A = this chain, B = another copy of it.
């Protein structure tokens, strides 16, 4: 997505048909990969580009383990089997929904949006099965549709690699609310969210941005830079997950005991700090696939800048977060350090390909402070987010989208979103932010963030509200179950039947809680 026309042979990654364009290709008529790509440079490049996407997809899928551990470690032991199981099950639930429905929506209308003169790209394969429910000419698809995308013409190595990578991104969106809604969410209600997110929620905003839809066309249609640009999804993935996390947390309400009678927040301490730290490391590791493989091309060496920027933002986010929480509370709270790194990672995800290293350091620095202050802010507002998902993904994701509009230096991304003379080389400069001279790009970015925090937040809120209304007893667990811990009543097992095996151990509140980690203000 991102820049689906111009990038050749990078684009060829998701476009195996290009082989037959670029070469005689007689031996490779079957794009299912049945025959070897002919031994040409273009053939090898396409195959290696596909490999980079597949490696990236593996890494992003492995991030599910990271989310699972972070969320479980920062929750309490009596809910641990429930929390880890939501993070486990979401992989399959969201994936199945995206396979059956979501992918077709997100990319089913693709070619329509990039014009009739487009070179054959991934959309070509989906085009014959694409249907446009609402397609405003010259503006792009609002709603698209495709039959289950991986049958028929979608049985193509390019489409399948692309599907796998995008499905992994979808699962990240879907898993974020399991953090903010942890410890009080009914299993069956959670399952419903998983299908909704994979089938509709992510694909809709995905269509508008990466699928060639109207936000991606803000440049072509209104002269706003290259349109909404989001390299690997600070907005499309993380802010999208973050606002859903906010909606869910509001609908569920805070956990029993989170806020005292005076309305002040209490610490419900995470039960396993090493688990949460391991999860953070796994996320850092997987994030290189998330960001760097979003070049879609091993032949696009910009992945090196992306990978380094990702690590730089993570390092500055973690270190500045550590210093900030020490300054504010006197202690290097492990949870805040972890969230500092994650905030840096989320924030660099959109701009990672477009900014110089010093800007990555600055973005990480800002995110490291922002995420901590935001966690305290959310808590002060009476919203209970056990793992800080709203702040990490929603707030830092939105900051990342805007940071692109500020710091993009114009070196990379010429022709993005099919802007300008899309088929010519050097047709225009790269994506350029306000500080490098293009205020229009910033406007497009802000617009994307506004849509996420209004339309998409509204959709997520409506989903949880409606689900809450139509579900017998609502989507929140029974009070007795929550107090006892969700593990036995919801999952049928205890996470640790031998470490906490007395009934009193299960339902007691954490005694002698650690000092509240609050700013000394």
Which A residues fall within an 8 A CB radius of B?
A: 7-10, 16, 27, 30, 32-37, 39-48, 50-55, 57-59, 61-62, 64-65, 68-69, 72, 76-77, 80-81, 84-85, 87-89, 91-93, 95-96, 99, 148, 150-151, 154-155, 157-158, 160-161, 163-164, 167, 187, 191, 269-275, 277-278, 280-282, 284-285, 288-289, 292, 298-305, 307-309, 311-312, 314-319, 322, 329-335, 337-338, 341, 356-358, 361, 411-412, 414, 425-426, 430, 488, 490-501, 503, 505, 510-515, 517
Contact = CB atoms under 8 A, between A and B. Distances in A.
A356 B155 contact: yes
A160 to B, nearest CB: 4
Contacts of A39: 9, 41-42, 45, 299
Given A47-B300, A278-B68, A161 B498 contact: no
A84 B277 CA distance: 7
17 contacts: A33-B304, A34-B302, A58-B59, A61-B288, A77-B499, A80-B274, A84-B274, A85-B334, A92-B322, A96-B315, A96-B316, A99-B315, A150-B308, A151-B356, A269-B497, A273-B495, A332-B490
A81 B273 contact: yes
A52 B301 CA distance: 11
B312 A157 contact: no
A495 to B, nearest CB: 4
A125 to B, nearest CB: 13
Contact of A512 (B40, B59, B335, B501): B501
Closest 4 CB pairs of A and B: A331-B492, A65-B281, A92-B318, A33-B302
Contact of A411 (B32, B333, B338): B32
Nearest to A354: B34
Nearest to A94: B315
Given A76-B498, A160-B304, 10 more contacts: A50-B301, A54-B307, A81-B274, A85-B334, A85-B337, A92-B316, A191-B322, A269-B497, A329-B492, A488-B514
Nearest to A267: B493
Contact of A288 (B54, B80, B288, B515): B54
A288 B281 CA distance: 18
B497 A89 contact: no
A274 B88 CA distance: 10
A interface secondary structure, majority: helix
A68 B491 contact: no
A496 B77 CA distance: 9
B495 A158 contact: no
Contacts of A490: 331-332
Contact of A497 (B358, B505, B510): B510
A358 B151 CA distance: 7
Nearest to A513: B497
Contact of A292 (B54, B65, B84): B54
B278 A69 contact: yes
A58 B285 contact: yes
A301 B16 contact: yes
A358 B92 contact: no
Contacts of A494: 269, 273, 514
Nearest to A19: B301
A307 B277 contact: no
